[in-house]
Amino acid sequence: MVYGDLQFVDIIIFAVIAVFLIYRLKNVLGKRTGFEKNENKPKEKNNFFEQKEDKNIKKNIPQLKDNETKLSKAYEAIDDFDHKNFLEGAKYAFETIINAFNEGNKKTLKDLLTKDVYQSFESAIEDKKNNPGFQFYSLVVDSVEEVFIEQNLIYITLKITSEQFKNNDENTITKKQDTWTFQKNIKSQSPIWLLSST
């Protein structure tokens, strides 16, 4: 009987230890409350919400001057847009186009103008309205007048003031103010903007 009693006592001790361990495990691991992330959820659903969040992320638009604020639309439309590079490029394009026009350089013009604008410049050259003697004295972009998107094309209109003189004579300096519009396909990787309106 003593041996049987010892076995019975052992069983009770092991049962108590088992209950204690289960209790401790339950406290340590906790139980499902319904708020835990369900790893079995379809990935498509998670991707949908992730994509939705990405679309709501605002693009990082740098501080723009008062006369440049409309360029924020360009930042929203073009991933790698940089307003400083654009404005410097526009000044360079303006000077290149005017010089090419005055020199009658149709090849250069063809690469920088839309078809309609090129035809206007070409007609003016043929009518001898260009003057090879003109040179630039100064060039400033005064303001960004308008930015709009139409059929995957973005248009940026600039007001530009230039001073030019002829035949190396600074006494002949004349000031001109032009409004030019440049265009580019928003999906294009090319850095080139074409002059689409003057």
Would you kindly state where each structural domain of the chain is located, as residue ranges?
1-29, 67-197
Angle at 169 between CA 163 and CA 173, to 5 degrees: 25
Angle in degrees, CA 152, 155, 157, rounded to 5: 175
pLDDT of residue 51: 44
Residues 6 or more apart whose CB falls under 8 angstroms from that of 145 comprise 70, 157, 158, 159, 179
User: What is the pLDDT, as a whole number, of residue 34?
Assistant: 52
pLDDT for residue 114: 98
Distance CA 84, CA 107 (A): 27
67-197 — its CATH code? 3.10.450.240
pLDDT the model gives residue 37? 54
pLDDT at 60: 87
Between CA 57 and CA 68 the distance in angstroms is 23
Sequence-ordered list of residues with C-beta below 8 angstroms from that of 129, at least 6 positions apart, any chain = none
pLDDT of residue 12: 74
**What pLDDT, on a 0 to 100 scale, did the predictor assign at position 4?**
53
In the chain, which residues have pLDDT < 50? 1, 35, 43-56
